[in-house]
């Protein structure tokens, strides 16, 4: 009998799927609902020190191949959000607190606040492509990534994940830096920087002009990033970008991911996507004689790790 349960840096997950930061994870209630629908773990919306309204509308464009968003990291601030974490914990699955900040000190403070609020792990958002001052400033160079991870990890007891940007010449260099800085895992990828233009209005559609592309269009990029990172680091990789089916999730696992996150497909299909992905993964494993997800991690690399 095949089983989907995984242990990710000590987080016990009933399956390797996680809700990605940014979709249906702004409130405790919505996180509980997504967990009930089958997600193995939940990543919260990225939270900062102070409340932030985010960018003006339009902040999302639906494209044939995915979504383009420039939400601008709207959130109520960590103090208010702690209550949502406490509510989300009722779901009985690991809750990973995502944080963003403008400096290493701010990131470290938020990381500790997430731990105090009860988060089972913390994800550093080092990769938002459309929030000036809070986006990739701390995540664009290996030096910055290593330093922010080291500072955030200093007094942290729960696992630390670094979410990396694909908008870089070498994502594996960023992953190596995160590992050197003490991150327990890396998350790849955040959205790709993009744009949509209204020919009628002759102007960019997003109020912020540029945004982050997600969904099926970015799956080949995410896969390539995970594949490259797997050759460079020993810490677990969490794959994300365009996953809509069990086959998509399995591609990420075979590229080297120990777990996967789903964002846009939750927006387009609803939270039922989690049980569908899990059902399809399990069917593939049973048909092909795999007993655990771990047996499949990285198998697309000739000769393994
Ligand atoms: C509407 C929306 C909001 C997002 N907000 C965040 C965020 O707050 N923090 C973050 O790290 N990533 C955020 N993301 C990026 C996703 O977590 C994910 O990395 C990306 O969308 C690729 O996965 P997907 O193709 O499954 O959506 C957001 C994505 C979308 C579509």
Q: Which two tokens stand for residue 138?
A: 């701390």
Catalytic: 149?
no
Split at pLDDT 50, 70, 90, the class of 136 is confident
pLDDT tens digits, residue range 65-75? 999 999 999 99
pLDDT digits (tens, 9 = 90+) for 118-134: 999 999 999 998 888 88
For 23, residues 6+ apart whose C-beta sits below 8 A from its C-beta are 263, 264, 266, 267
Fold category of 6-296 in CATH: TIM Barrel (3.20.20)
Q: Where along the chain do its domains lie? A: 6-296
Instruction: Please state the rounded mean pLDDT for residues 89-95.
Output: 97
* Ligand 1 center–CA 23 separation, angstroms: 7
- CA 191 – ligand 1 centroid, Å: 6
Per-residue burial over 37-51, b = 16 or more CB atoms within 10 Å of its CB, e = otherwise: bbbbbbbbbbbbbee
DSSP H stretches of helix in 100-141 = 104-117
Per-residue model confidence (pLDDT) at position 303: 59
pLDDT tens column, 167-178 = 999 999 999 999
Mean pLDDT of 138-147: 95
pTM value surpassing 0.75? yes
Ligand 1 centroid to 286 CA: how many Å?
Answer: 31
Pick the catalytic residue: 9, 128, 225, 244? 128
Q: Whose CA is nearest to atom 7 of ligand 1?
A: 22
**Is residue 139 in contact with ligand 1, taking CB distance under 6 Å?**
no
Q: Output the pLDDT for position 305.
A: 46
In order, the DSSP letters of 60-104 are EEEETTEEEE-----B--HHHHHHHHHHHGGG-S-EEEEE--SSH
Q: Is 190 in the pocket of ligand 1 (CB under 6 A)?
A: yes
- Tens of pLDDT, residues 96-106: 999 999 999 99
Dihedrals phi, psi of 65, to nearest 5 degrees: -100, 5
| Arithmetic mean of pLDDT, 50-64 | 95
């Amino acid at each position: 009998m095949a089983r989907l349960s995984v242990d990710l840096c000590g987080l016990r997950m009933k399956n390797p799927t996680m809700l990605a930061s940014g979709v249906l994870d702004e409130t405790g209630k919505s996180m509980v609902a997504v967990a009930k629908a089958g997600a193995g773990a939940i990543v919260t919306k990225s939270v900062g020190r102070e409340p932030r309204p985010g960018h003006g509308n339009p902040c999302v464009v639906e494209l044939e191949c995915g979504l383009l968003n420039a939400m601008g990291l709207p959130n109520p601030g960590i103090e208010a959000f702690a209550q949502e974490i406490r509510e989300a914990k009722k779901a009985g699955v690991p809750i990973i607190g995502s944080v963003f900040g403008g400096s290493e000190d701010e990131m470290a403070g938020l990381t500790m606040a997430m731990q105090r609020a009860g988060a089972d792990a913390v994800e550093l958002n080092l990769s938002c492509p459309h929030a000036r001052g809070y986006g990739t400033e701390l995540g664009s160079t290996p030096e910055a990534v290593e330093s922010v991870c080291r500072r955030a990890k200093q007094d942290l007891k729960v696992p630390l994940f670094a979410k990396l940007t694909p908008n870089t010449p070498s994502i594996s260099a960023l992953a190596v830096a995160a590992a050197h800085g003490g991150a327990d895992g890396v998350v790849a990828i955040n959205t790709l920087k993009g744009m949509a233009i209204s020919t009628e209005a002759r102007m960019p559609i997003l109020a912020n002009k540029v945004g982050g592309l997600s969904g099926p269009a970015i799956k080949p990029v995410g896969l390539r990033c995970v594949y490259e990172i797997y050759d460079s680091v020993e810490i677990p990789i969490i794959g994300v970008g365009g996953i809509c089916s069990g086959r998509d999730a399995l591609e990420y696992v075979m590229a080297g991911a120990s777990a996967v996150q789903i964002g846009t497909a939750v927006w387009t299909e609803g939270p039922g996507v989690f049980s569908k992905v899990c059902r399809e993964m399990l069917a593939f494993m049973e048909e092909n004689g795999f007993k655990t997800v771990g047996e499949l991690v990285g198998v697309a690399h000739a000769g393994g790790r």
